[in-house]
Amino acid sequence: MKEALFIALRILTGLGGATLVIITLSAAIRSFVLPRNESVRLNIFVFGGVRGLFDFAARRVNTYARRDRIMAHYAPVALVALPIGWLALVCLGYTAIYWALGIESWTLSYQLSGSSLLTLGTTPDKRLIINVFNYSEATLGLLLLTLLLSYLPTLYQAFSRREVVVAQLELRAGQPASATGLLTWLGHDGDFGNDDAQWLAWEQWLVEIDESHSSLPVLAFFRSPQSNRSWVTAVGLVLDTANLLFSALDVPRSRQVELTFAAGCLALNRVYRYFDHKAETTAVELRSDAEQAAADPGRLEFARAWLALGEAKLPLRADEEAAWRHYHERRRRYAPALEFLSKLLMAPSSVNI
């Protein structure tokens, strides 16, 4: 009776180990091979644990620049921790399998698993079935590391393309960057009808953000090289500029501007829904009260923008109050997503209208 129970225990342990290995392999494939915004619980656990440590450190400093230096390391460290977590779970799964196949103790099973996974070959075994699993574990170990290494160039190419546009927007929108400054730059010749090529370039950039930041969510956490830049505030800048153009200026509406505005709203809201709904991420507020207030333009900021546009000799609509209502109503299409992502990614609050 005891022998039968012991055999049953070994079988169940082996099945549990095999399940753990399959789950880990599935997580790796869904993370870097499947081109969809899959929510992988294993990855969420790893990234959440690393994020907790960085949030704890960021709360201990009192300036944005120092918080930014801390958080700039979060995404690279979490990305390195991901394969370590995968390998640890595979090692644990195979340890259970080896014990189920008759290895005398858990210690010897763990030694055999670690030796096979890291392809050290320091713990040999002559049994055929054990060697079959040895080779499969060594193959999986190399596969998991290769998956991450092969996708690092893809990640950094997408990051580089994103940051080029972020830097260009800063050059065009003035210091500090604002929708009023960008709109003034667009209308420097008094003709907003010849800016479609620029709005098309921004539409393509927003569509790429939609695709890359939802299929590779870790990319959202890679911070800009300059602390006062962020892809989130750059997207908000483009949307606020289009919104201000529609609401405040008495000029013909371009279909291309409308397409760019729609692309930006879709990109922000899809990335927002992934983190808020699929990944169930809790955004921890690390910004100061002043930084939070600067990120949410109100009636006073709109009045200042209205005055600046008038000083720039741009054609304003007749009713400022009606323009404000239209601007505020349209901003509801992207403001919740912009606020959530700014909070989650600790974006700099430098963009005003």
Task: Supply the DSSP symbol for 33.
Answer: T
- One domain, residues 97 and 159: no
**Tokens coding 113:** 């698993």
Assess if residue 159 is contained within a domain. Answer: yes
- One domain, residues 127 and 223: no
Spatial CB neighbours of 169, under 8 Å, sequence gap ≥ 6 = 177, 182, 234, 237, 238
The answer to whether 216 touches 148, Cβ cutoff 8 Å, is: no
- Name the domain boundary from 91, 114, 147: 147
Assess if residue 350 is contained within a domain. Answer: no
Burial of 262: CB neighbours in 10 Å, binned 0-12, 13-18, 19+: middle
pLDDT at site 352: 65
Beta pairing partners, 352: 178
pLDDT at site 70: 95
Assess if residue 12 is contained within a domain. Answer: yes
Alpha-carbon 335 to chain mean position: 18
pLDDT at site 157: 92
**Tokens coding 203:** 């539409």
- One domain, residues 235 and 260: yes
**Average pLDDT, whole number, for the chain?**
88
Go through 190-207 and write b for each residue having 16 or more CB atoms within 10 A of its CB, e for each that does not. Answer: eebeebbebbeebbebbb
Comparing CA positions, the residue from 186, 317, 165, 173 lying closest to residue 254 is 186
Comparing CA positions, the residue from 88, 239, 214 lying closest to residue 158 is 214
Assess if residue 30 is contained within a domain. Answer: yes
The answer to whether 94 touches 21, Cβ cutoff 8 Å, is: yes
The answer to whether 248 touches 308, Cβ cutoff 8 Å, is: no
Number of domains in the chain: 2
- The C-alpha atoms of residue 329 and residue 294 are separated, in whole angstroms, by 19
- One domain, residues 175 and 120: no
The answer to whether 130 touches 111, Cβ cutoff 8 Å, is: no
- One domain, residues 84 and 198: no
Comparing CA positions, the residue from 304, 193, 190 lying closest to residue 244 is 304
- The C-alpha atoms of residue 113 and residue 134 are separated, in whole angstroms, by 7
Assess if residue 349 is contained within a domain. Answer: no
The answer to whether 240 touches 351, Cβ cutoff 8 Å, is: yes
pLDDT confidence band for 298 (50 / 70 / 90): confident
pLDDT at site 183: 93
- The C-alpha atoms of residue 207 and residue 122 are separated, in whole angstroms, by 50
Beta pairing partners, 249: 316
- One domain, residues 143 and 159: no
- One domain, residues 72 and 129: yes
pLDDT confidence band for 295 (50 / 70 / 90): low
Assess if residue 258 is contained within a domain. Answer: yes
pLDDT at 176 over 70: yes
pLDDT digits (tens, 9 = 90+) for 205-256: 999 999 999 888 899 999 999 988 999 999 999 999 999 999 999 998 899 9
Distances 30 to 33, 58, 242, 277 between C-alpha atoms, Å: 6, 31, 36, 18
Which carries the bigger pLDDT value, residue 119 or residue 145? 145
pLDDT confidence band for 351 (50 / 70 / 90): low
Instruction: Please tell me the pTM assigned to this model.
Output: 0.86
Beta pairing partners, 316: 249
Alpha-carbon 291 to chain mean position: 21
- One domain, residues 136 and 281: no
Assess if residue 351 is contained within a domain. Answer: no
For 200-236, give the DSSP string: HHHHHHHHHHHHHHHHSGGGGGPPPSSTT--HHHHHH
Instruction: For residue 200, give the amino acid letter.
Output: L
pLDDT at site 180: 94
Quote the domain boundaries for residue 284. Answer: 155-344
Helix (H, G, I), strand (E, B) or coil at 127: coil
- One domain, residues 162 and 74: no
pLDDT at site 255: 94
Helix (H, G, I), strand (E, B) or coil at 141: helix
- Name the domain boundary from 83, 116, 147: 147
pLDDT digits (tens, 9 = 90+) for 120-168: 666 677 788 888 888 899 889 888 888 888 888 888 999 999 999 999 9
pLDDT at 104 over 90: no
pLDDT digits (tens, 9 = 90+) for 11-22: 899 999 999 999
**Tokens coding 62:** 């009192």
- The C-alpha atoms of residue 45 and residue 54 are separated, in whole angstroms, by 15
- The C-alpha atoms of residue 291 and residue 178 are separated, in whole angstroms, by 15
- One domain, residues 137 and 160: no
- The predicted model gives 163-178 an average pLDDT of 91
Alpha-carbon 186 to chain mean position: 30
Assess if residue 176 is contained within a domain. Answer: yes
- One domain, residues 6 and 130: yes
pLDDT confidence band for 305 (50 / 70 / 90): very high
- One domain, residues 205 and 285: yes
- The C-alpha atoms of residue 252 and residue 254 are separated, in whole angstroms, by 6
- Name the domain boundary from 106, 130, 147: 147
